[in-house]
């Protein structure tokens, strides 16, 4: 998916919501546990209920990987379902991969050829040659961790260099030599508030993937105040706040309502 297609989808849907499919088997509604593939059945219902209100889906691979072969099957089926029924929705595999060049190339094959998602989150610690193997795929996106939403983001990402630059700024600045705003986005946590202004100084045009609204306590208004660009430039993710808002037989309906609530706020903020 190109940047322009993503922007078009955002304005058409009046939403920059990404629904996080962190489909922890232990949290699924009980009545689904008898199905052959409970995680896929859950995802399918969540997707059908939320698709009108969002532009992207982000399965976090950990929740599938920890179920072994069954989990991988559920992930593959979820991606295939999305591609078939909702081809305009961006599919992000949240995997936070990154390794030496020849190994990153294997991960790229895994996610961009076999699973065939549109975007993949990558950890920057190992530098350029750990990231570039993911950049050679037309229409695919690398979403590089910059300033994450968790408490531990302060441990290293905020470390100030002797040149007065925080590590997350160094990551954003240097990675722009390898990539551009048509094939790279950055992860910036919604909990980071005013730091979005610093991010926009280094990356004025890149899309940012913003987790941390909802269960993690980030504010949508604040993210938009400091982070929105003329093309929106934001994909705001909510996972638990939508998919696990209810765990009765009405789970999908309630997830749809929660997604719609966010979409309605986003519609105002897009104006």
Nearer to a copy of itself, 170 or 183 (CB): 170
Nearer to a copy of itself, 103 or 265 (CB): 103
Least separation in angstroms between CB 192 and a copy of itself:
13
Read off the DSSP letter of residue 212. -
Least separation in angstroms between CB 22 and a copy of itself:
7
Least separation in angstroms between CB 214 and a copy of itself:
13
Q: Which two tokens stand for residue 84?
A: 């078939």
Q: Which two tokens stand for residue 33?
A: 């546990």
**Which position among 44, 77, 83, 96 bears the catalytic label?**
96
Candidates 258, 264, 255; CA nearest to 44 is: 255
Query: Radius of gyration of the chain from Cα atoms?
Result: 18
Nearer to a copy of itself, 97 or 260 (CB): 97
Q: Is 154 exposed, middle or buried (0-12, 13-18, 19+ CB in 10 A)?
A: exposed
The answer to whether residue 96 is catalytic is yes
Least separation in angstroms between CB 130 and a copy of itself:
5
Nearer to a copy of itself, 51 or 179 (CB): 179
Query: CA 12 to CA 235: how far, in whole Å?
Result: 14
Nearer to a copy of itself, 167 or 269 (CB): 167
Residues lying near a copy of itself in the complex (CB under 8 A): 22, 24, 60, 62-63, 65-66, 68-69, 72-73, 76, 94, 96-101, 103-104, 106-107, 109-110, 114, 123-131, 145, 148-157, 159-162, 164, 167, 170-171, 174, 211, 216
Classify 60 as helix, strand or coil: strand
Q: Is 243 exposed, middle or buried (0-12, 13-18, 19+ CB in 10 A)?
A: buried
Least separation in angstroms between CB 58 and a copy of itself:
12
Query: CA 140 to CA 117: how far, in whole Å?
Result: 8
Classify 234 as helix, strand or coil: strand
Per the CB < 8 A criterion, the answer to whether 197 and 208 are in contact is no
Active site residues: 96
């Amino acid at each position: 998916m190109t940047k322009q297609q993503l922007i078009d989808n955002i304005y058409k849907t009046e939403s920059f919501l990404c629904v996080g499919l962190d489909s922890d088997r232990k949290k699924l509604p009980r009545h689904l546990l008898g199905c052959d593939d409970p995680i896929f059945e859950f995802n399918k219902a969540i997707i059908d209920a939320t698709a009108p209100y969002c532009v992207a889906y982000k399965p976090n691979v950990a929740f599938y990987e920890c179920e072994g072969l069954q989990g991988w099957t559920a992930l593959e089926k979820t991606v295939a379902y999305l591609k078939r029924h909702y081809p305009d929705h961006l599919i992000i595999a949240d995997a936070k991969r990154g390794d030496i060049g020849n190994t990153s190339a294997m991960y790229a094959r895994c996610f961009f050829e076999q699973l065939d998602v549109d975007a993949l989150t990558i950890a920057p610690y190992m530098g350029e040659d750990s990231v570039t193997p993911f950049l050679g795929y037309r229409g695919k996106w690398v979403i590089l961790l910059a300033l994450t939403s968790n408490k531990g983001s302060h441990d290293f990402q905020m470390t100030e260099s002797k040149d007065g630059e925080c590590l997350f700024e160094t990551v954003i600045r240097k990675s722009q030599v390898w990539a551009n705003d048509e094939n790279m986005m950055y992860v910036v946590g919604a909990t980071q508030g005013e730091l979005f202004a610093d991010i926009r100084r280094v990356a004025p045009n890149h899309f940012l993937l913003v987790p941390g609204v909802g269960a993690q306590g980030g504010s949508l208004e604040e993210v938009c105040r400091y982070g929105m660009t003329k093309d929106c430039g934001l994909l705001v993710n909510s996972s638990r706040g939508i998919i696990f808002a209810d765990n009765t037989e009405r789970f999908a309906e309630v997830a749809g309502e929660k997604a719609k609530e966010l979409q309605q706020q986003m519609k105002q903020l897009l104006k």
